[in-house]
Amino acid sequence: MIITPIEVDHSAFDAHMFLIECDGKKLLHTGDFRTHGQRGKSVIPALKRYVGSVDCLISEGTTLSREKNDIITEFDIQHKAESIFRNNKYTFVLCSSTNIDRIAAIHMATLNAGRLFVCDSYQKNLLLYIDEIARSSLYKFRNTVYSYANNLLDLMKGKGFVMLVRDNWISKEVIKKFPDNIFIYSQWEGYLNKDFKEYEHLQKFVPKNHISLHTSGHADFNSLKKVCETVNPKLLIPIHSESPESFKEMRPKRLCYKTN
């Protein structure tokens, strides 16, 4: 058995698809992926170069149960964020501490806008580790990330800043010091729905007048369709989806389907 990891774009750092070959058969497991992030353009070329046609495709379909709206890219997020940062001196951003590509976009927008990029020590240590191990110029955080401390306040007030926040006492303390701020919510909007367990603590932390700035970490319909067409599977097994039947719209004459 030969297992080949193929690096892909996703909202979690260092995500991979897996090509599994055994007894003359080829299976591709996509895991979670997308094509609208900073490294998204490499997904289809990598499949053409390293995978080709497969006997079986196991594919995520997280977004298939959602409306087919035009999806914005991480570059769109960066450009919109930069405009907000230029026009507002004090900005707080709530996003996942492990969504490294989102943080990279926010980080670049902050530098372009001439603001300080601030976070707590946990987040800074994580970003410096990514900077150390990453093979991409996207993740150059060293010497440009400030860990919040009281002696940083004068610099923050003078130059303006963008600070990554979490629902902890440090973030709440700093937000109180800068009441005239802009708050950006950069996570899935579904978490703000009363039906989700995250709602209770988020409603206490995220102000009602926040700005939503987010894009999915998962492939949309068109990206999933391109993957199906590229690897041309004989069998498709949908996973991570509330709407697995949507795959039938992609290649209905070619595939057999199995839903779990």
Answer yes or no: do 61 and 103 share one domain: no
Q: How does the average pLDDT of the chain come out, rounded?
A: 90
CA–CA distances in Å: residue 193 to residues 187, 196, 197, 200: 12, 6, 9, 9
Answer yes or no: do 185 and 106 share one domain: yes
More confident residue, 253 or 98: 98
Q: Which residue segment(s) compose the domain that 87 sits in?
A: 74-212
Answer yes or no: do 177 and 83 share one domain: yes
Strands in 90-94's sheet, in edge-to-edge order, are 146-147, 116-119, 161-165, 90-94, 182-185, 211-212
CB 244 within 8 A of CB 59: no
Report, as an integer, the average pLDDT of 127-137: 90
Q: Supply the CATH number for residue 25's domain.
A: 3.60.15.10
- Name the maximum alpha-carbon separation found in the chain: 66
Find how far residue 253's CA is from the centre of its chain: 33
83-123: per-residue pLDDT in tens? 999 999 999 999 999 999 999 999 999 999 999 999 999 99
Q: 252 falls in which pLDDT band (50, 70, 90)?
A: very low
Answer yes or no: do 23 and 60 share one domain: yes
64-76: per-residue pLDDT in tens? 887 766 789 999 9
> Percentage of the chain with pLDDT > 90?
72
User: Given its phi and psi angles, is residue 23 left (phi above 0), alpha (psi -120 to 50 degrees) or beta?
Assistant: left
Answer yes or no: do 31 and 87 share one domain: no
Long-range contact pairs involving 64-73 (C-beta distance under 8 Å, separation at least 24): 64/221, 64/224, 64/241, 64/242, 64/243, 64/244, 64/246, 64/247, 65/241, 65/242, 65/243, 65/246, 68/220, 68/221, 71/36, 71/215, 71/216, 71/220, 72/36, 72/215, 73/36, 73/37, 73/40, 73/215
More confident residue, 252 or 33: 33
205-216: per-residue pLDDT in tens? 999 899 999 999
Name the domain boundary from 197, 212, 227.
212
Report, as an integer, the average pLDDT of 36-65: 92
Q: Supply the CATH number for residue 156's domain.
A: 3.40.50
Helix (H, G, I), strand (E, B) or coil at 4: strand
Rounded to a whole number of angstroms, the CA Rg of the chain reads 21
Answer yes or no: do 179 and 225 share one domain: no
Answer yes or no: do 126 and 200 share one domain: yes
Q: 204 falls in which pLDDT band (50, 70, 90)?
A: confident
Please give the pLDDT value at position 256: 53
Domain count of the chain? Answer: 2
Answer yes or no: do 128 and 194 share one domain: yes
Answer yes or no: do 248 and 154 share one domain: no
Answer yes or no: do 50 and 159 share one domain: no
Answer yes or no: do 61 and 134 share one domain: no
Please give the pLDDT value at position 243: 84
Amino acid at 246: S
User: Does residue 8 have a pLDDT over 50?
Assistant: yes
Answer yes or no: do 91 and 187 share one domain: yes
Report, as an integer, the average pLDDT of 183-201: 83
Matching residue, tokens 């994580």: 126
